[in-house]
C-alpha cells in the first residue's frame, strides 16, 4: 500500500490494525560513469514497494535527497546537510506519530545516510517525549540498508566478488537496470579503479576517486542480476520488517 495512493480515511482504517510504516530513503548523487544519479533512491523505492506488497505495510513517499556532501564535487549531486536531514526526519516521524504510527522502518539505499538517520532517531525520541505525545515511548525507528542484508551481500559477492566495491557497485547498478532497462548506460570504465581511501571532504573524494567509483566494476551489472538482487532484498527486508513490528 502506497501512502500517496491512499485517502486519509483509508489511512485511518489502516491505523486501527497496524501502526507500522515503511519510509524509503535514497540519495541523489553521482554513481560513476555508468551509474544513475538516482541509483540510491530508485533502489530504496522499488524494494520498499516490494516489501509493502509482501507484508501489507503502508509505504511513504521516497525521501529522494539524502546526506551526500562528499559527492558534491560531481555535477548533478544534491545533498542535505546532516542537521537538515535530522530536521526532515524529525518532522516526518513527528507528523506520523501524532496520527498514531509507532513503527518507522526506513529502507535505505545510501550508506551516507546511516549516521545522520541514527542521530535523527535519537533526537526525535526526545522531541516526542518533550511534546508529551501519548505513546511517545512506543515510537521506534529502524534503518534497514538493503545492500547490507546478509543475503544480498552474499549474492553480490557470488556475482561480482571483489569487483562489487563500495560505491557505484554492480549490484546497485543492476537493480536500477532491472527497474529502468531503458536507462542502461555505457561508458568507458577504467580497469584501474581506486579503493580503500576513507571518505572526507568532497574535494578530497573527487581527487581520490576521479570517476566516482569506489573499487567497483559496474560493467558487470545486468538487469537479470538486478531482478535477483531485488527479490532477495525484498524477502530479507520483509522478514526484518515483520520482526520489527512484533518487537
For Ni ion, the closer CB: 40 or 164: 40
**C-alpha cell read off for 244:** 520489527
The string of DSSP codes covering 81-118 is -HHHHHHHHHHHHHHHHHHT--EEEEEE--GGGHHHHH
Using CB under 8 A as the binding rule, whether residue 125 contacts its own copies is answered as yes
Q: Residue 88: CB partners within 8 Å, gap ≥ 6? A: 63, 80
Closest approach of its own copies to the CB of residue 146, in Å: 17
Closest approach of its own copies to the CB of residue 138, in Å: 8
Q: For the window 143-172, what string marks contact with its own copies as x by the rule CB under 8 A?
A: ------------------------------
Eight-class DSSP state of 149:
S
Using CB under 8 A as the binding rule, whether residue 190 contacts its own copies is answered as no
Q: Which of 25, 37, 149, 214 binds its own copies (CB under 8 A)?
A: 37
Q: Pick what 186 binds: its own copies, Ni ion, none; C-beta below 5 to 8 Å, kind-dependent.
A: none
For its own copies, the closer CB: 44 or 232: 44
Q: How many residues bind Ni ion (CB under 5 A)?
A: 3
- Compute CA 178 distance to the chain's CA centroid, rounded to the nearest angstrom: 17
CA angle (36, 209, 26) in 5-degree steps: 35
Using CB under 5 A as the binding rule, whether residue 40 contacts Ni ion is answered as yes
Residue recorded with cell 546497485: 172
**C-alpha cell read off for 20:** 507500522
- Contact between 65 and 72 under an 8 Å Cβ cutoff? The reply is no
Q: Hey, which residues between 43 and 102 contact its own copies (CB under 8 A)? A: 60-65, 67, 69-70, 72, 74-84, 86-88, 91-92, 95-96, 98-100
Using CB under 8 A as the binding rule, whether residue 200 contacts its own copies is answered as yes
Closest approach of its own copies to the CB of residue 158, in Å: 27
Eight-class DSSP state of 164:
G
The contact set with Ni ion (CB under 5 A) reads: 39-40, 172
Amino acid at each position: 500500500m502506497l501512502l500517496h495512493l491512499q485517502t486519509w480515511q483509508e489511512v485511518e482504517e489502516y491505523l486501527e490494525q497496524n501502526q507500522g510504516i515503511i519510509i524509503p530513503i535514497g540519495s541523489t548523487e553521482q554513481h560513476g560513469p555508468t551509474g544513475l544519479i538516482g541509483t540510491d533512491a530508485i533502489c530504496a523505492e522499488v524494494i520498499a514497494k516490494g516489501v509493502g506488497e509482501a507484508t501489507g505495510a503502508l509505504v511513504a513517499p521516497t525521501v529522494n535527497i539524502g546526506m551526500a556532501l562528499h559527492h558534491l564535487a560531481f555535477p548533478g549531486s544534491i545533498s542535505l546537510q546532516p542537521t537538515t536531514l535530522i530536521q526532515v526526519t524529525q518532522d516526518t516521524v513527528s507528523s506520523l506519530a501524532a496520527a498514531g504510527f509507532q513503527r518507522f522502518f526506513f529502507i535505505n539505499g545510501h550508506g551516507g545516510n546511516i549516521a545522520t538517520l541514527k542521530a535523527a532517531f535519537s533526537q526525535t525520541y526526545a522531541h516526542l517525549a518533550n511534546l508529551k505525545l501519548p505513546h511517545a515511548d512506543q515510537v521506534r525507528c529502524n534503518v534497514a540498508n538493503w545492500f547490507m542484508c546478509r543475503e544480498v551481500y552474499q549474492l553480490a559477492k557470488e556475482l561480482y566478488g571483489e569487483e562489487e566495491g563500495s560505491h557505484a557497485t554492480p549490484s546497485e547498478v543492476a537493480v536500477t537496470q532491472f527497474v529502468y532497462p531503458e536507462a542502461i548506460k555505457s561508458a568507458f570504465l577504467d580497469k584501474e579503479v581506486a579503493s580503500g581511501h576513507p571518505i572526507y571532504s568532497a574535494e578530497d573524494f573527487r581527487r581520490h576517486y576521479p570517476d566516482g567509483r569506489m573499487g567497483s566494476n559496474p560493467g558487470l551489472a545486468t538487469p537479470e542480476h538486478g531482478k535477483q538482487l531485488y527479490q532477495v532484498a525484498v524477502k530479507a527486508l520483509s522478514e526484518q520488517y515483520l520482526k520489527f513490528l512484533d518487537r
